[in-house]
Structures are given as structure tokens and as C-alpha cells.
Amino acid sequence: MNEPVSDDIIDVHGLCKSFGARRVVNQLSLRVAAREVCGFLGANGSGKTTTLRMLCGLLKPDAGSGTCLGLDILRDAPAIRRQVGYMTQRFSYYEDLTVTENLELVAGVYEMPDGAAAVRDIVNRMELGGYARELAGNLSGGWKQRLALAACVLHRPKLLLLDEPTAGVDAKARREFWDLIHDMAVEGLTVLVSTHYMDEAERCNRIIYLSNGRIVVEGDALEVARRSGLITFDGTGGDIEDIAQRIRGRPGVEAAGVFRRAVHVAGSDRAQLERALAEFPQLQWREVEPRIEDVFIHELSVEEPQREDAPP
């Protein structure tokens, strides 16, 4: 009897991948629904890039199974690669070709019958018209990013995998990039994106946190923050820079920093944290909701001892 086919764009189970003796992805299972914008978080080396490369058919898992776009990730990797857009961390197009020439080259690789029209359409969609004859190497970081995104969606994929796509570009370019992503999601594109920017993570429908190749946290930003078990306080009314420095390292204080006009303090042991706050009565302390950044820092602090004890 045949097993039912999943309606999810990504539906994988028990993925494992090692490089030498080091297990980079460890029994990872993941489902991503159509039109979802899903954020991948985790420290460097947590398995994000390796997972993305397995999903798009560039790496073969050592173990595990599942589907991407309804295709088997083990048997149908070439077919998956043709239907996925994958944007790497580094700009990977030809800097001595113009914007249009790069896109025409991509259209040729995908053997698009309407390649010239598709290039014209994506140039207009990404507002690249003013740079169409510009050498890619002369573009700013934000426009290189926009060209890379245009190349990734030129062949009209159903799934877009983005690996730290906005690293090194300014805030305005990042915002415009994310506006484009959400516009395309509304039109039917599914997106899985790795990022270290907390404001970007909060724009995702769902956040997935990887640690040592495993998913340890997932949910929407508010849900993840509330389920974290973290206790967070803001302190105002004194020399906040001095107190932020002095309170760090106290028992129960996992993180402390200046945020706007307050000392923002986080910890997971309420009794210890409140004892630490009581040492600084010159501030007015108010309990606040944890932020996704608090969760990220907490997970990093939990992960480090594990990574030290893990096999090389």
C-alpha cells in the first residue's frame, strides 16, 4: 500500500550529514508549508547551510528521507535543483558581465524557451532597469543582492532557499529585500531563509533554531519568546551603561545590555536573577516580555558547552 504524499513543500525526516568524524546535521526532521516564510537561526556551524544544500539537491544526506517539492530528495536531486532557487552567502555571479548578461546566462542554463522575455520581466520586477548595462562588479552590495535574487527566481521556482542573503548590506536594502520576499510569498513562493538578524527573523511566519545539527526551538517569534522560559527585566533611572557592565556575570544573569534608555537583563532562574537586580536598587526594574534576541543569546549560551563536549 502506497503511503500518502505530503502536501508540504518540504517534508523530510531524520536527515544526517557528517564531514569526516564531525556530525553536522543530526536526525533533523522538517516540514514547511506552501507560501510559508520560514527563518533558520543558529550559531555558525549549527548545520543551517548543510541543511539547505541537502534540501536543494547539492548534498546527499548520509541518512534520512523525505520530499522537496513532492520529489524524493535521494532519487530526484537533479529535478529538485531545477525547481528551486538557491541564493548563497557570497555573490556568485560574473562580475565582468553586465546585469542583463548574467541573467541571460542563467536563462540559458535553465533552457528557458522565453528567456529574453523572462529577463526583461525580472529586470522590471527588481527595478534593475537603471543598471541593466552595468557590470555586476560595479554594483553596490544592495544591488548585487537584488541581482542575485533576480537570478534565483528567474526560472520561476516554487521554493526559494536563502543563505544569509542580506549580510553586509545596509538597513534600507535589507528592508526592500524583505518586502520583495513577502510579495513573492503572497504570489505562491515558499521561502526558507537563514539569518542572524533578529528583525529579519521576526518577519518570518515561523522560526526554526538549530543547535548542533538539531532543531531545538520552532514557532512564530512571539510563541518562541514566550515558550523560552526566560525572565527579562528593564531597568531605568540611573547610569545604565555602568550598571549594565557591572551586572553582567552575576549569578542568574545570562545577558545584560543597554537597549534604548534601559538596561535589559535576561535569565532563566528567577530567584537568582531577582537577587542580582536587588543589588542595584538605584534603577527602577520592570518585568517585560522576552524578545527573540534574548532567546537567540540564551540558545547560544546553552549550545557552547555542548559544542565543546561534542566529538570533533
* Domain parsing of the chain, residue ranges: 33-61+72-224, 231-289
Q: How confident is the model at residue 224 (pLDDT cuts 50, 70, 90)?
A: confident
Mean pLDDT calculated for residue range 285-310: 72
pLDDT on residue 1: 36
pLDDT on residue 229: 87
Three-class secondary structure of residue 87 per DSSP: strand
Mean pLDDT calculated for residue range 240-253: 92
pLDDT exceeds 60 at position 308:
no
pLDDT exceeds 80 at position 146:
yes
pLDDT exceeds 80 at position 74:
yes
Identify the architecture of domain 231-289 in CATH.
Answer: 2-Layer Sandwich (3.30)
pLDDT on residue 29: 95
164 or 5, which is more confident? 164
156 or 297, which is more confident? 156
% of the chain surpassing 70 pLDDT: 94
pLDDT exceeds 50 at position 310:
no
Q: How many residues does the chain have?
A: 312
- CA–CA separation, 200 vs 221, rounded Å? 10
Mean pLDDT calculated for residue range 160-165: 92
Say which residues have a Cβ less than 8 Å from residue 257's Cβ, sequence separation at least 6. 244, 263, 264
Tens of pLDDT, residue by residue over 8-24, are 999 999 999 999 999 99
Tens of pLDDT, residue by residue over 122-134, are 999 999 999 999 9
Residue carrying C-alpha cell 508540504 = 8
- CA–CA separation, 2 vs 45, rounded Å? 37
The CATH code of the domain at 33-61+72-224 is: 3.40.50.300
pLDDT exceeds 50 at position 305:
no
Report the chain's mean pLDDT, rounded to a whole number: 89
First to last CA, the chain: 43
Chain-centroid distance of CA 59 in Å reads 19
pLDDT on residue 2: 42
| pTM exceeds cut of 0.85 | no
DSSP of 187-243: TT-EEEEE-S-HHHHTTSSEEEEEETTEEEEEE-HHHHHHHT--EEEEEESS-HHHH
